[in-house]
Amino acid sequence: MTYKAARIAFFIQAVFGLASTLITLSLGPKGIAVLAGIALRPLVLERSSTPDASLIWKRSLHIAEVSLLITAVTILLLWALSEYAAGALLPDRHGSILLLALLPYFTFVHGTIGALWGFPKGEPQ
């Protein structure tokens, strides 16, 4: 089973991921609760059965791999920034908030990559 409008499902994921990332960075750990809004997708979007589930799994795995790579590069850039460039500018308490914001950030990146890449024509939408 997959969503009929896969791009819209990924777009909803990206919106909630971005909102949760920004709220987590500004208000702290309570911003993670915004991710619960993704649970509304099955209520809003219609699902359909797919004839070839392996194609869906293959595409979803590829989107997840690219999202993990982008998130890993972001972690390295944040580390380099805090270690070499702005060590005095970021207090210690900001490090834990940045680490906490990585989960909603990954959700945002995964939704964005999925919405941009999505499924090409001819594949199940």
> Mind listing the pLDDT tens digit for each residue in 32-63?
888 888 888 888 888 877 777 787 788 888 89
- The two structure tokens encoding residue 43: 């209520």
State how far the Cα of 20 lies from the Cα of 24, in Å rounded to an integer: 6
- The two structure tokens encoding residue 56: 């869906």
Record the pTM.
0.79
Residue 91: is it exposed, middle or buried by C-beta count within 10 angstroms (0-12/13-18/19+)? exposed
Q: What is the mean pLDDT of residues 58-73?
A: 91
Pairing of the two strands 2-3 and 47-48: antiparallel
* Length of the chain (residues): 125
